[in-house]
């Protein structure tokens, strides 16, 4: 459990009432991680979401190295030489891991600490159950997640132009 006052500081949670903030506080824990820590990988089942308090988190995609000759068999066995491309950077006060709130609850990218980070980890599985009891809560949180999704899509589009 974390302090409700900590949650109230962040614009991501604007529009929630005190009862909803308290529910979030009960489902949140604070975590400190080192640079290079992976919060989750693309296609992982995701039962949580995060708010970054300090540091920088990269939303990354793993892509094949361009200057390496790959065999066709390597493509099928997933033995390609790859590198991580940061498509978006999550700073303090920003949310990541939106897929924990949205079915089918599978990560659509990888999240990696680009520096030492302090984050709030929320149990999204339990939070989604709370949405069944308070549809208004679920609506506001879904709208917030949709804004993050839109931002990530924009970031991905801009980053893909750099590799075209």
Q: What is the pLDDT of residues 44-53, one digit of tens each?
A: 999 999 999 9
pLDDT band at 153 (very low <50, low <70, confident <90, very high): confident
75: helix, coil or strand? helix
Residue 164 clears pLDDT 60, i.e. is over it: no
User: pLDDT, tens digit, for every residue of 62-115?
Assistant: 877 767 665 666 566 666 777 888 989 999 999 999 999 999 999 999 999 999
Q: Give the residue-averaged pLDDT of 118-125.
A: 97
Number of domains observed in the structure of the chain:
1
pTM of the predicted protein model: 0.86
CATH of the domain at 63: 2.60.120.10
CA distance 82 to 62: 6
Looking at residue 127, its pLDDT comes to 95
What is the four-CA torsion angle of 4, 148, 11, 113, rounded to 10 degrees? 70
Q: Give the residue-averaged pLDDT of 14-30.
A: 95
Looking at residue 39, its pLDDT comes to 98
Residue 28 burial (CB < 10 Å; 0-12/13-18/19+)? buried
pLDDT band at 128 (very low <50, low <70, confident <90, very high): very high
Which range marks the domain in which residue 47 is found?
4-162
pLDDT band at 156 (very low <50, low <70, confident <90, very high): confident
For residue 119, the cross-strand partners are 31, 52
Residue 118 clears pLDDT 60, i.e. is over it: yes
Q: Give the residue-averaged pLDDT of 149-163.
A: 79
């Amino acid at each position: 459990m974390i302090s409700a006052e900590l949650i109230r500081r962040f614009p991501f949670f604007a529009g929630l009432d005190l009862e909803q903030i308290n529910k979030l506080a009960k489902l949140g824990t604070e975590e400190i991680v080192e640079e290079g820590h992976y919060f989750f990988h693309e296609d992982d089942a995701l039962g949580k979401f995060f708010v970054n308090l300090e540091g920088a988190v990269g939303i990354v995609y793993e892509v094949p190295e361009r200057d390496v000759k790959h065999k066709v068999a390597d493509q099928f066995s997933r033995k390609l030489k790859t590198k991580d491309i940061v498509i978006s950077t999550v700073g303090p006060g920003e949310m990541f891991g939106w897929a924990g709130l949205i079915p089918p609850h599978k990560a659509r990218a990888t999240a990696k600490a680009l520096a030492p980070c302090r984050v709030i980890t929320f149990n999204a599985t339990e939070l989604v159950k709370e949405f069944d009891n308070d549809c208004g809560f679920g609506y506001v949180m879904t709208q917030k997640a949709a804004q993050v999704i839109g931002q990530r899509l924009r970031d991905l589009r801009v980053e893909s132009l750099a590799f075209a």
